[in-house]
Amino acid sequence: MPVPLPRPQALLKGLVTVVLAAAFAAQAVAALLPHVPLLIAATAVSLATEGVLYRWQRGVLSLFAKSHADITVRHVLRDLLLVVALLRLGEQDRETVYAPLVAGLLVFYVLHCAIQAVSVLVRRTRTLPVVTRNIDASALRLSPAPSVLLRRPGHRLLVFGLPATAGLLASAPGDRPVYAAAGIALSLALGLIGLGALLLRLLPGRRPADEQEVLDWFDAWLAAYRPTAGLYFSGGAASAYQANMWLEPLAGLDGRPVIILRERFMVQKIAATDIPIVCLPKVSTLMRLEHSTLQVLIHPSNSGKTSQVLRIPTIKHTFVNHGESDKLSSCNPYAKAYDEVWVAGPAARERYALAEVGVEDKDVVETGRPQLDGVLPYAGPPAGPRTTVLYAPTWEGWDGNPGNTSVIAAGENLVRALLADPGVRLLYKPHPLTGSVDPRAGAADLRIRELIRAANRERAGARPSDSAELTLRTAELDRLTTSVFRAGADTVERMLVQSAPEPGRAEAVARATAAWEEAYWASLPEGEHQIITDARPTLYSCFNVADLLISDVSSVISDFLASAKPYAVANTSGLSEDAFRVAFPTVVAATVLTPDAAGVPDLLDAVRHPERDELAEARAELKLRLLGPAEPSSQERFNDAVRALCGAARDHRARVAERLAAVPGQRTATEVPTAPR
């Protein structure tokens, strides 16, 4: 078996580490000899390498820290070697001349430690128990964050300590201690200024509100806003799309919606929305929702922190999932922990019944998929010379099932077969988590991308003249959806910047998004294949321009059925086609492709000639089973489900209030919040 070659990134990290180690070794030799030219060169290389580390190779810094060779140790060692070199140079009285300089250097390092200690205190005062977005939180005395130099010890020591190091180095050639004294004095001055700036932020009037003030403010905001239904989400950074797909349906609800998050970083991962966003990291803070008017929480995913919010008895909880498919994960036994499970159509109801995971049929509500209301219906065969094919495979999943993703076993064959047809324009949109579990999937994804790039090099199209329009639309959409933060802004500063949105922004974003999508598709060179991995264009936008979808057993095909366009599913499960169709009902109306992609030419022929499409009627029937009726719209059904569950929550609160009023010493009915209708 051939030995795999190191990756370029790993080679670069190794090279930087070797260079830094060699520079310190050379500096030590130069200090002991002493040898001034070598000392200057080694110190300069050492400082330059530190700059490279902090600018481009942050990963190497953690390796140094684990080996107890962090920035402070390295900086002290560098200055110590310079002091040793100075003590060995010249003939004058070394102790008398350099003892004050060494003392000044020690004071600088004491200042560095003091700044770090005070910066920790400042950071604690700026770590609030509640993080918000789209809410006016100016009453919390929010302020811009301190300079990055005052918060990050590595950056601070490099910048503040540079004058001292440079002064020591400049003293070596002519044995002139005055340079060292000037450099150390400047470093001391910078340290004192930095320490003073941080201490000012600890004054009572300069720091944000304390924990109790923030909690009191949050309770008051809940009482004033009176939320009715909310979206609850917890997860990793890559899972934010699961929440983002429910933002538009949530914004379309009657009442006052809210988004509840648990991780501070997730506040910035949520896409542009006017809905108030509240992050409650602590369980004790989360429990304050019990005394609010919030009646329903909608859950698009399960997480370890879901069980914490399910403990709130005054709120009804519903699981909507972030997508429906025939995979076992769509019928997770955890779903029985919710009051209701909302699904798109009858097929999902049957799926839960067959799975026997404890979800009772009476708790399943069919709401459709409100996200799909904007998916355009089938309008006939490809109108132009190109057939646009969307290949959107799913990821490998946690269970290691070879049938989860087609990327490993069939992806390259499918792409080669599509690229071989000169009339095909391919849109490749892999799942964001591709390769996160199985490295083979990540490697196959990279090879697929290279195949597409190679095909584009052979098929060069003229770029349309309206690319300037896309630039204009991008700038407008970015202006509406992207908050511009100062470099080094922390959570508190972002709360200050992202206060209540301007009235009408949601409608402006919708218009700008539609204009951007139109400009984006118009700007692409004719026939050029696309690798789509950014947040824009969305999957649903790709649906609207595609004539055909090729995917795996996933929610992608369920959503694509809203268009009633032809679709195909890659069978990499090892099952026969008949067994595959029986095992996965969403494949009933699909063309099943084998891993060798032999059926691609016939599939393209059926797309181009609808009279040869034998699955059109089956797709219409399956669409009804998977997504429910077209009327009333999914958004209306979603609204109705929220109203009904809110009513159940109000009835439950009323019954609880009656029981509490009848028990001496318990909360009275007046203490139970009255929920708005």
The whole-angstrom separation of Cα 392 and Cα 569 is: 10
| pLDDT score at 321 | 87
Residue-wise pLDDT for 365-382, tens only, equals 999 999 888 899 999 999
CATH code of the domain in which 576 resides: 3.40.50.2000
Listed in sequence order, the DSSP H helices in 175-233 are: 177-200, 211-225
| pLDDT score at 176 | 84
Chain-centroid distance, C-alpha 297? 22
User: Are the C-beta atoms of residues 649 and 295 closer than 8 Å to each other?
Assistant: yes
* Mean pLDDT within 227-231: 97
For 266, residues 6+ apart whose C-beta sits below 8 A from its C-beta are 233, 234, 235, 237, 240, 243, 279
Closest listed residue to residue 600, CA positions, set 411, 383, 359: 411
Strand (E) positions, 450-589? Answer: 530-531, 548-551, 567-570
242 domain residue, yes or no: no
Residue-wise pLDDT for 506-530, tens only, equals 888 889 999 999 999 999 988 899 9
| pLDDT score at 443 | 94
For 568, residues 6+ apart whose C-beta sits below 8 A from its C-beta are 548, 549, 550, 551, 590, 591, 592, 593, 599, 603
Q: Domain boundary at 598, 627, 656, which? A: 627
Sign for the pseudo-dihedral over CA of 315, 316, 322, 327: positive
* Mean pLDDT within 484-503: 84
| pLDDT score at 92 | 56
Q: Which of 340 and 59 is assigned the larger pLDDT?
A: 340
228 domain residue, yes or no: no
344 domain residue, yes or no: no
* Mean pLDDT within 548-574: 93
Considering only 29-33, 146-150, 181-185, 387-391, which range has the smallest mean pLDDT?
146-150
- How many structural domains compose the chain? 2
227 domain residue, yes or no: no
* Mean pLDDT within 118-125: 94
pLDDT at 669 over 50: no
Output DSSP code: residue 142: -
For 139, residues 6+ apart whose C-beta sits below 8 A from its C-beta are 209, 217
| pLDDT score at 670 | 41
| pLDDT score at 5 | 41
Considering only 77-91, 173-187, 422-436, 585-599, which range has the smallest mean pLDDT?
77-91
Alpha carbon distance, N-terminus to C-terminus of the chain: 68
pLDDT at 83 over 60: yes
DSSP string covering 91-111, please? SS-HHHHHHHHHHHHHHHHHH
pLDDT at 172 over 80: yes
* Mean pLDDT within 585-593: 92
298 domain residue, yes or no: no
276 domain residue, yes or no: no
Residue-wise pLDDT for 36-57, tens only, equals 999 999 999 999 888 888 777 7
pLDDT at 630 over 60: yes
% of the chain surpassing 90 pLDDT: 61
The whole-angstrom separation of Cα 60 and Cα 421 is: 46
Question: In this structure, what are the phi and psi dihedrals at residue 508, rounded to the nearest 5 degrees?
Answer: -65, -40
Closest listed residue to residue 454, CA positions, set 416, 414, 408, 421: 416
Domain, as residue range, for 597: 375-462+525-627
